[in-house]
Structure 1
C-alpha cells in the first residue's frame, strides 16, 4: 500500500502533459456567457409556459377599471365635528375634495368651487354661519401664513393647486371645533 500512495503522489514522467488552450479574449468570453444565458432564459421561458398553462385568465376590460380618485370621502359621510362652524368647514373640505377646487370664481363651469364658494354652499344660506366659518378660516390661514393675508379669496387665488387651500380648510375645521364654534 505504501507503494501505491507514493505512486499517486508523484506524476508519471512518461505521461504527456496536455497542452494548455490559448486564453480566450474578452469578446469570446462574453459570447460564451451570452450563449449560456440565452439557453437558460429559453429554458426558464418554457418552464414558465408549462407551469402556468393550466391557469384560466380572462382579459381585462379597461372600461371596468376605476379611474377616479380613491381617497375621495363618500358624500354622505357623517360630520366629524359636533359644532356647527366646524361641521360646515368639514363639509366644505369634503366638497372641495370631491367636487374640485378652482380660483378666481366662486364656482367654475365644471362645478368646482373656491374655498369661500364651498363654505357658502355648505352653510345652506345661513349668512351668519357662512361668515363665522370664513372668519375661522381666515384666522387659521393667518396663524400659519402671517397677518399679511388680506382675505380668504385672495389666499385662495394665490395658489396654483388645491393642496394648501384644502389643508387650510381642514385645519380650520379643527380650529373651529377647538374653539367650540
Structure 2
C-alpha cells in the first residue's frame, strides 16, 4: 500500500497593515451593499411608484386646553389666569419676562390683569397670602427671586386666588 507523502509546510501568516485591512473590509462592504440594493430593488419592484417623501417638518406645538376658571371674582380670576400663564409659559426670576417668554409673578399678573389697578389689587392679595407663611417677605419680586423652582410661586398664586375669592375681590 502506498501512501502519498505528506508535507508539513508551515505557512507564516501574512500581516496586513491598516490600509490593506481597511481596503479589504471596504471591498466586502461594497459587495454587501450592492447585494442589499439588488435585493431591495427586487423586493419592491411590484410596488407602484410612490410620491416622493415629503419634507419632514416639526409637529405643531401642543397647547394645553385652557383651564376653566373656578372663580367668579375679577381679582381671583386674574390670579388664576396668572397661574395658568406661569404653568404654560414658564417662570423666571430677576426680571419681568425673559427671552423665552417666561414671566415672574408680577409679570404674569400684569399680563393677565385687565387694568393696572386690577394688577395692583391682585399683587396686594398675593403679598398677603405670601406673608401668612413668610413674614419676612418684603416684596413679591424679592420673594420670587429667592425661590429655586416655580412650585411655591404656583402654590401661592392658588392660595391668593382662594383668598381673593373669599374676600369677594
In the alignment, does 2:135 pair up with 1:150? no
What's the CA shift for 1:73? 5.4
Aligned length: 112
Distance 2:77 2:133 in 1: 21
Indicate the residue corresponding to 1:173 in structure 2.
Answer: 161
Are 1:135 and 2:97 counterparts?
Answer: no
Are 1:164 and 2:152 matched, yes or no? yes
The 5 Å alignment of 1:75-94 reads: 75=66, 77-94=67-84
Contact 1:73–1:94 (CA under 8 A) maintained in structure 2: no
2:111 paired residue number: 121
Segments of structure 2 that go 5 or more residues without pairing to the other structure are 1-61
Query: Is 1:96 aligned to residue 95 of structure 2?
Result: no
Deviation string 1:91-143 (CA, Å, 9 cap, x unpaired) is 0000001110000000000000000000000003x011000000000000000
Decide whether the 8 Å contact of 1:115 with 1:156 is kept in 2: yes
User: How big is the shift at 1:88?
Assistant: 0.0
Q: For the aligned residues, what is the CA RMSD?
A: 2.1
Deviation at 1:160, TM superposition (A): 1.2
| SS state at 2:65 partner | coil
TM-score (norm 1): 0.58
List runs of 5+ in structure 1 lacking aligned partners: 1-67
* Distance in 1 between residues matched to 2:133 and 2:74, nearest whole Å: 23
1:74 maps to what in 2?
65
TM-score normalised by the chain length of structure 2: 0.61
Whichever structure has more helix as a proportion of its residues is 1
Where do 4+ consecutive residues of structure 1 move more than 3 Å?
none
